């Protein structure tokens, strides 16, 4: 290694270098187990990293101006929580324990890509002069927390009020999971990756047994590395057969995975990295022999799962790998050490396939021992990989090491190539690569499939238990993709999913509902298990009142105690009622209103909808907001306020009349939601755009008079008279030809508001082909000539 003066003179003083790495861990059976909280265990890793610089820790600590924490699993999603509390500012809590006083504290987004992404990001900041010295760290104490939950000992208290500046970047999980996956219970990594893994097996044409052996052979060498790692959570060497073969102590958790083939999150592990500019490292007196340079780096994002053309592949990962290699100016043969993210076999296979690496590559595919054996400390695993690779290249000066850090379902990949050889900082080129990736085609999603489908991939969770569940991703006849759950009452389908014959590519039957899509082996089974509800009115409903008055149907949302909010049950009932209304030839006009005088509807009943509003019929909120065909008129009689989904339902009606004291608004943004049931689309088309933006972005309400002025409503009634006004309007509609009314509705619904006006008029002339041949047209002309009231038939 060159002398210090030679090294410092060869590179820009702003060049970022890794100068210290540290790790910490404790197991429940350790003699000195202390049940450390996240902040305390992280502090051990940070102190180890400061000590690894080779100079007094206080000397290094004084130079640190930024501390960034990898987000732990206790804060990784809206559903996560801390059963025993946590510091309100984790970066500063750890800083306080380790003698750091940073000017800036950061908590990174969710995802296993975070450690390497932070290195890439802060390397760029150091090179740009925006930072001089940075500590990156992460920790997980899931083993301690789970043990405490089941222990009879007093509960620990890890809560801590630290305060101070914190840049909390949020979850950042958009695109990593979809509404459809949540609806169908695909929210945990194991079934998510099992779906991808089975797709890969099918693409390779391997039997279940052959593929299981391949997974075992891929991971067996990792266990040998873990067995020698003092920080490993499960330091035991296994054969390929011991990993892949199911047994009493190695059950199948989700086809095709046994317990020993998946990431182990029952760990207490922490890791940290110290990065500095060459200038700061020199000033701190850190020996250049300890400096590690980032030669190549890249960050890419894959398409959302349900949009990917091939479920078993992630082209963005290969793109990141080769971009990092190109930046470093080396070939894969020049890399002497790897740490490939290994939460599940396919995460390794995807990278290994792209790089041409074999399972038994003599360089090894992991430097830690891999997530199932070393341990999977949440989002922070790859910080351990970086620490190990930094030590490897230090021990072999001039060599290269590669780290791949994966987030989501092969959703994000961050790559780093490390070496002690000095090199100037190279700015990221990932934006150019990502722009090219983003131009790829996407598979269309079918949210409400009904009919035949073909299995594209599948998994069965806990197949040997009574509570087993099957997940299927398939394609409809037109090629759109759907996700569904295998009907637990269909043993034929489960025999197919669990048998030796290949289920992928076979035909199934799928039927949608508000809650989820159900899959059976065939149509006859579906009809037997889930007979279709006949279209028609029930004798009574739980949440809705229905009254017929001649050709008028009055529908009353009857939940005044909840301000007529719509629960999943209310949505189902309204959907049924509107199906029956449109199918009944004797009904020509419908009026929709709310019980009482306080509210038409306050929208989604968040308390009753445990799915957070996900359990909505195919026809949308209130059975209306996504309904394409509404051939007969519906009048919304707004009494009181129409808020959120209530306004969206009202706007999905053909006419709105309002009580003088009514008000209208979309307050979703005030509770962290958006008006996705039509408000974002219909309101800007119904009122001036400036007003629509004001209402949508601030939650502003408008009065009935304002709504009338802006054209949101057509008429306003005196207080308490809106239903009478709606009935009057309904009678006026009934006085017109129902054939002409329905034809007019059809043309207005089909008209493109952005189309050329003259062209739209010409296109609409075809409506006369239907109207002029109807008996109603003849009746209308005859009644006019005979000076009498027409007798409409609706034909």
Summarised one tens digit per residue, pLDDT across range 331-345 is 999 999 999 999 999
Over 60: is that where the pLDDT of 611 sits? no
Over 50: is that where the pLDDT of 4 sits? no
Contacts of 56 (CB under 8 A, 6+ apart): none
pLDDT score, position 764: 65
Above pLDDT 70, what percent of the chain? 96
Greater confidence, 334 or 7? 334
pLDDT band at 8 (very low <50, low <70, confident <90, very high): low
Over 50: is that where the pLDDT of 676 sits? yes
* Phi, psi for 630 (deg, rounded to 5): -125, 80
Contacts of 461 (CB under 8 A, 6+ apart): 190, 191, 194, 253, 254, 468, 469, 470, 471
pLDDT score, position 792: 80
Q: Pick from 547, 672, 557: which is nearest to 603 by CA?
A: 557
Architecture of domain 544-734: Alpha-Beta Complex (3.90)
To the nearest 5 percent, what fractions of the chain are helix, strand and coil? 40, 20, 40
Over 70: is that where the pLDDT of 38 sits? yes
Summarised one tens digit per residue, pLDDT across range 433-475 is 999 999 999 999 999 999 999 999 999 999 999 999 999 999 9
Q: Pick from 574, 577, 554: which is nearest to 564 by CA?
A: 574
Buried b (16+ CB within 10 A) or exposed e, 294-329: bbbbbbbbbbbbbbbeebbbbbbbbbbbbbbbebbe
Summarised one tens digit per residue, pLDDT across range 304-315 is 999 999 999 999
CA distances from 602 to 231, 444, 532, 707 (A): 54, 33, 31, 17
Element at 780 (helix H, strand E) = helix 775-786
Over 80: is that where the pLDDT of 197 sits? yes
Please tell me the CATH code under which domain 451-529 is placed.
2.40.50.840
pLDDT score, position 7: 55
Summarised one tens digit per residue, pLDDT across range 338-390 is 999 999 999 999 999 999 999 999 999 999 999 999 999 999 999 999 999 99
388 catalytic residue (yes or no): no
pLDDT, average across residues 40-49: 98
Q: Domain extents for the chain?
A: 4-181+260-437, 451-529, 544-734, 738-786
pLDDT band at 647 (very low <50, low <70, confident <90, very high): very high
Tell me which CATH homologous superfamily contains domain 4-181+260-437. Answer: Thiolase/Chalcone synthase (3.40.47.10)
Element at 319 (helix H, strand E) = helix 315-328
Over 50: is that where the pLDDT of 1 sits? no
Residue 257 CA to residue 195 CA, distance in Å, equals 11
668 catalytic residue (yes or no): yes
Summarised one tens digit per residue, pLDDT across range 65-88 is 999 999 999 999 888 889 999 999
Over 60: is that where the pLDDT of 597 sits? yes
Structure tokens at 778: 């003849």
pLDDT, average across residues 147-155: 90
Over 70: is that where the pLDDT of 578 sits? yes
Summarised one tens digit per residue, pLDDT across range 622-637 is 999 999 999 999 999 9
**C-beta of residue 245 within 8 angstroms of C-beta of residue 257:** no
Lowest mean per-residue pLDDT among 51-60, 722-731, 745-754 = 745-754
Mean pLDDT of the chain: 94
Above pLDDT 90, what percent of the chain? 85
Structure tokens at 754: 């952005």
Over 50: is that where the pLDDT of 2 sits? no
Summarised one tens digit per residue, pLDDT across range 237-289 is 999 999 999 999 999 999 999 999 999 999 999 999 999 999 999 999 999 99
Summarised one tens digit per residue, pLDDT across range 240-250 is 999 999 999 99
Active-site residue (options: 180, 576, 648, 661): 648
Structure tokens at 454: 């073909």
Exposed/middle/buried for residue 255 (C-beta within 10 Å: 0-12, 13-18, 19+): buried
Lowest mean per-residue pLDDT among 90-104, 354-368, 674-688 = 674-688
pLDDT, average across residues 528-545: 94
pTM of the entire predicted model: 0.89
Residue 629 CA to residue 746 CA, distance in Å, equals 8
pLDDT band at 614 (very low <50, low <70, confident <90, very high): low
Active-site residue (options: 515, 668, 706, 786): 668
Over 70: is that where the pLDDT of 552 sits? yes
Residue 359 CA to residue 216 CA, distance in Å, equals 10
Over 60: is that where the pLDDT of 301 sits? yes
């Amino acid at each position: 290694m060159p002398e210090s003066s030679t090294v410092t003179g060869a590179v820009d003083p702003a060049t970022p270098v890794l100068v210290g790495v540290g790790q910490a861990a404790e197991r429940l059976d350790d003699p000195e187990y202390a049940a450390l909280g996240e902040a305390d265990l992280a502090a051990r890793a940070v102190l180890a990293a400061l000590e690894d610089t080779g100079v007094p820790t206080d000397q290094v600590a004084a130079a640190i101006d930024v501390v960034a924490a990898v987000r732990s699993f206790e804060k990784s999603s809206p559903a996560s929580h801390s059963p025993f509390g946590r510091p309100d500012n984790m970066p500063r809590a750890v800083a306080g324990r380790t003698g750091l006083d940073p000017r800036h504290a950061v908590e990174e987004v969710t995802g296993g890509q975070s450690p390497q992404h932070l290195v890439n990001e802060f390397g760029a900041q150091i090179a740009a002069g925006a930072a001089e010295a940075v500590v990156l760290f992460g920790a997980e104490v899931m083993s301690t927390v789970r043990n405490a939950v089941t222990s009879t000992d007093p509960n620990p208290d890890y809560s801590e009020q630290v305060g101070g500046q914190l840049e909390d970047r949020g979850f950042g999980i958009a695109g990593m999971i979809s509404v459809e996956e949540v609806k169908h219970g695909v929210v945990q990594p194991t079934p998510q990756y099992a779906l991808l893994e089975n797709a890969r097996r099918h693409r390779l044409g391997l039997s279940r047994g052959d593929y299981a052996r391949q997974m075992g052979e891929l991971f067996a060498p990792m266990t040998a590395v873990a067995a020698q790692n003092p920080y490993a959570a499960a330091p035991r060497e296994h054969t390929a057969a011991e990993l892949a073969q199911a047994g009493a102590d190695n059950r199948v958790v989700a086809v095709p995975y046994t317990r020993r083939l998946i990431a182990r999150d029952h760990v207490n592990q922490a890791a940290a990295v110290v990065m500095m500019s060459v200038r700061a490292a020199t000033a701190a007196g850190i020996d250049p022999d300890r400096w590690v340079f980032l030669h190549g780096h890249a960050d890419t994002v894959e398409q959302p799962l349900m949009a990917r053309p091939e479920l078993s592949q992630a082209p963005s990962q290969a793109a990141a790998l080769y971009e990092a290699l190109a930046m470093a100016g080396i070939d894969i043969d020049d890399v002497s050490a790897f740490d490939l993210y290994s939460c599940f076999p396919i995460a390794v296979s995807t990278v290994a396939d792209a790089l041409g690496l074999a399972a038994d590559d003599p360089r090894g595919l992991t430097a830690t021992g891999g997530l199932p054996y070393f341990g999977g400390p949440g989002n922070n695993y790859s910080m351990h990989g970086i620490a190990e690779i930094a030590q490897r290249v230090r021990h072999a000066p001039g060599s290269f090491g590669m780290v791949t850090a994966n987030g989501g379902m092969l959703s994000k990949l961050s790559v780093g190539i490390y070496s002690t050889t000095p090199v100037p900082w190279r700015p990221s080129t990932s934006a150019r690569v990502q722009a090219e990736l983003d131009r790829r085609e996407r598979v269309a999603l079918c949210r409400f499939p009904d009919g035949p489908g073909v299995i594209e991939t599948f998994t069965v969770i806990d197949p040997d238990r009574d509570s087993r569940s099957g997940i299927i991703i398939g394609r409809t006849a037109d090629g759109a993709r759907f996700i569904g759950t295998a009907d637990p009452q269909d043993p034929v389908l489960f025999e197919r999913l669990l048998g030796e014959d290949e289920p992928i590519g076979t035909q199934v039957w799928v039927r949608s509902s508000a809650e989820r899509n159900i899959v059976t082996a065939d149509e006859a089974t579906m009809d037997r298990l889930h007979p279709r509800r006949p279209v028609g009115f029930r004798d009574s409903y739980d949440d809705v009142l229905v009254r017929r008055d001649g050709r008028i149907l009055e529908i009353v949302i009857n939940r005044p105690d909840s301000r007529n909010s719509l629960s999943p049950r209310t949505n189902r009932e309204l959907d049924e009622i509107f199906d029956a209304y449109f199918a009944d030839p004797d009904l020509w006009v419908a009026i929709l209103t709310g019980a009482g005088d306080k509210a038409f509807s306050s929208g989604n009943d968040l308390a009753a909808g445990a799915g957070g509003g996900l359990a909505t019929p195919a026809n949308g909120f209130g059975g209306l907001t996504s309904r394409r065909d509404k051939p007969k008129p519906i009048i919304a009689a707004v009494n009181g306020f129409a808020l959120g989904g209530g306004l969206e339902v009202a706007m999905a009606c053909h006419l709105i009349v309002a009580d003088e004291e009514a008000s209208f608004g979309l307050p979703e943004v005030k509770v962290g939601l958006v008006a996705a049931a039509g408000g974002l689309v219909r309101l800007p088309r119904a009122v001036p755009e400036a007003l629509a933006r004001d209402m949508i972005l601030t939650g502003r309400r408008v009065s009935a008079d304002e709504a009338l002025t802006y054209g949101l409503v057509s008429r306003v009634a005196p207080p308490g008279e809106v239903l009478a006004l709606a009935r009057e309007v309904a009678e006026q509609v009934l006085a017109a030809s129902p054939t002409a009314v329905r034809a007019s509705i059809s043309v207005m619904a089909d008209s493109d508001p952005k189309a050329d006006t003259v062209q739209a008029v010409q296109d609409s002339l075809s409506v006369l082909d239907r109207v002029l041949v109807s008996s109603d047209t003849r009746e209308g002309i005859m009644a006019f000539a005979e000076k009498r009231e027409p007798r409409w038939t609706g034909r």
